Structure 1
């Protein structure tokens, strides 16, 4: 089994989000022929893991095994100390069916007002997984610590 990522090879990005596919393709710098899970008509798996790394691996493994090709997936989200780490792995759900992250941030602000502390410590976690069909996988995770500011600045 070839466990290398070779420039020019096709890589399945395990997403149904066209914007995310464009971002990942740009980050990969044109080194791979990116195709999405949506483009291959692969179903989205239920994210049943309890960590970002677990969900990224689940999605990469799902796409790799069903496509027969190397697959890359991500999972990420915002965690807030005063909310006991919420929304965390449920960040996308807090954004609702339209994935409106301005809405999600309004929910975070409302919950912080309910619990009352001045603690605005938060962190963003991102996990990436690459899985080979019926083979190994590599998972990496990073975290950026910071502090929430309201009202939000910027539009991303």
Structure 2
């Protein structure tokens, strides 16, 4: 996108999430741009049902709901792990595969069982969406390719990080420090596209 979007340096920006960890992460990413980040949770905004069938669709749905409810610009993200042997699953259902108890150990075992002798190729996708109260929205995608490790390794990160080995690496995301992961991750790549379009 060649022109900067109208996100002023003194803006208040709603993060369309109730996740405190995600709020801290985006507050850090936006530090230095003069933007105050507040979460949908802090504002008491409801979380909309993620009924879209794509990452961009769900990201846009969440951002628009927060922007209209708060009457402020809003940023959302939707992300997940896609596995070639599972026809791209779990994909947009990555969190749901872990169930209400967020049992990612079980979800990673389901992936391993599903792969069997098939391809271990996989990729993480992150789509960020910036939306405004007037209903306009802009999406930014980041992707990182890699493979699925036969067994989980590492204690850092979260979710599916223990089984994802980025291309060109021998370590899983969970064996990397946050700083190492954040330099190459799908979310970092999506944020860089967003930053270039919206924060210059």
- Scaled by the length of structure 2, what TM-score is found? 0.71
Residue aligning to 1:139:
139
Mapping for residues 113-128 of structure 1, pairs under 5 Å: 116-128=116-128
Aligned to 2:129: 129
Deviation at 1:99, TM superposition (A): 2.9
Q: Deviations for 1:74-111, whole angstroms, at most 9, x for unmatched residues?
A: 00000101111110000010122233433322221232
Deviation of 1:119 (Å): 1.1
Match of 1:53 among 50, 56, 71: 56
Match of 1:9 in 2: 11
For these two proteins, the number of residue pairs brought into alignment is: 151
How many angstroms apart in 2 are the aligned matches of 1:26 and 1:103?
A: 31
CA distance in 1, matches of 2:127, 2:49: 17
Which runs of no fewer than 5 residues in structure 1 stay unpaired? Answer: none
**Stretches (4+) displaced over 4 A:** none
Equivalent residue of 1:129, what SS?
strand
The structure, 1 or 2, with the larger RCO (C-alpha pairs under 8 Å, 6+ apart) is: 1
Match runs of 1:5-154 below 5 Å = 5-31=7-33, 32-112=35-115, 116-154=116-154
Residue-by-residue CA offset, 1:122-154 (whole Å, 9 max, x unaligned):
111000000010231110112211111122222
TM-score normalised by the chain length of structure 1? 0.90
Greater share of residues in helix: 2
Provide the aligned C-alpha RMSD in A. 1.5
